[in-house]
Amino acid sequence: MATGRGRSRTFAARPMKCSETLNAGIKSLYLTPPIKLKPNVCIESLPPEVLLKIFSYLDAVSLLTVGCVNKRFYELANDNGIWLKLYSSSLHPKWTIRKMKSKQTETLSLGCAAVHDRKPGYWKKEYISKQTSALRTRVMRLAKFLDPYTGLPCKNKEAMKVSGLSWIIVLKDKNGKEHVIEKPNLSFMDTSVTVLWHGTDWPCLDILSTLKLFGVTPLLPDQSIPPSKNGPHRFSLIAEYHLANLTEKSVVFGADELVQLFSLSPGLLVGIWKEKNEIAFVMANLHYNQLLERSILGSATVQYVPPPNKPLLDDIDSEFGLHDYSLHLDLHGRNCRYMCGSFKCLFCRKGDIENGYLRLRVVNLKDNRKHLPVIGTLGICWETDVFKGNVKDCFVMDLTLLDETGKPFWCFSAPVHMELSTKSSGLYDYMGHMYTADYADSEGKVCVEILWLEETKEYIIVSLVLYVSTKKVNSWYGTSY
């Protein structure tokens, strides 16, 4: 109550009016029909004209990726108008605006004819073919830089960076399912690269049938950004190996406390856990000779086949079988180098040709001036996510034999196992056990004798002989030995 000038005033609420307002609000809340929400607009439901407009803003890699979504997107992503635009921009990237305006009418008329007169996807294939050809040209240009000692490409790392090259293995089980193993560890040597894959979720060895080694490059590499894992790639088959009954058919190449090694030609090592019949790691030894070609120029099903050699017309010598050959030899254990040497002016006489082979003697057992010391204890290093080890009495041999013109004649990178020899060395200057390490393939054989010196605890190569197949020589020169 408030008072003023002797009068009293009373303030009171109006309950009837408030309750009516509240009831009206509650009724409106319950009686108002629900709002119908618009359904979500899916990009697949858009008209083709709108989708083509959206696709026209994509780059080539994104356009190829979106074409893998479904059949409709694939057909729209093959539109000749979009790909002709990309093709034209790549064909004349440095044209100025003035030049573009001067040829605007001609380009427009040509573009209309090129779009309507071609089948869908024509300019897509032309664009990819042009970009692939340009990439191969850049890579092969780098491959022409040769090392003066080995005669092999010396800019392989730069070429790998330009092309985005990597290597994967695909394990196929007996049911046809494929398991892709990526992200290997790389170890570079003078004439080879060793590629090591390891993991914990590999399939059991008993169900595996084949292993394929691929070189993988982005279909359209971009130097400004790293290659996308999910983008389009090109696969080049390098080698295929059969894994069925591996532990039963193959002899153990070497072993340590944890793993057993099995060797598969050419140049593959498979490490198997001793405690369980599962793969611990796979090691591939890749020689630099035509490595880029084999990793890039092949297809997903067919390996790259090098062109035949073109021999010199005057390569005839009545006294010598082979002359002025050069050899570069590396012995290593993936991460460590044991021996590296180059040998010039190798030759063989007609009398050195027998039993289908031409003999090239590099290191003579009786000439101790040419005996070669080996650094360290021979063995092959391996590692996984958790364990690492070293399998002794074996190593990786990288052999590069050049002909009289300096061309790679016979090259390989392969694991070699040492065995204790039963014969004595016959050398009075050295006292110790003699070991032999032999390698053979369709092109020739290598016989190495290694002496272990007890006093100095070191290995010495006392004999090294190459046996080159006469079939290889006849194929190389087009002659008959």
Q: Which residues, at least 6 apart from 311, have a Cβ–Cβ distance to it below 8 Å? A: 476, 477, 478
pLDDT of residue 100 exceeding 50: no
CA 417 to chain centroid = 26
What distance in Å separates the CA atoms of residue 186 and residue 86, rounded to the nearest whole number? 36
Query: Tokens standing for 342?
Result: 């180059």
What distance in Å separates the CA atoms of residue 250 and residue 264, rounded to the nearest whole number? 9
What's the predicted TM-score (pTM) here?
0.81
pLDDT band at 161 (very low <50, low <70, confident <90, very high): confident
pLDDT of residue 228 exceeding 80: no
pLDDT of residue 434 exceeding 50: yes
Q: What is the pLDDT of residue 41?
A: 62
pLDDT tens track for 410-420 = 999 999 999 99
Highest average pLDDT, of 150-154, 274-278, 282-286, 422-426, comes from 282-286
CA separation, residue 190 to residues 90, 152, 284 (Å) = 37, 9, 16
Residue predicted with more confidence, 315 or 474? 474
pLDDT of residue 17 exceeding 70: no
Q: Give 213's strand partners.
A: 169, 239
pLDDT of residue 373 exceeding 60: yes
Alpha helices in 150-203 (DSSP H): 156-163
pLDDT band at 95 (very low <50, low <70, confident <90, very high): very low
Q: What is the pLDDT of residue 6?
A: 46
Full DSSP string of 89-156: HHHSTT--HHHHHHTHHHHHHHHHHHHHSS-TTHHHHHHHHHHHHHHHHHHHHHHT-B-TTT-SBS-H
Cβ distance 272 to 259 under 8 Å?
A: yes
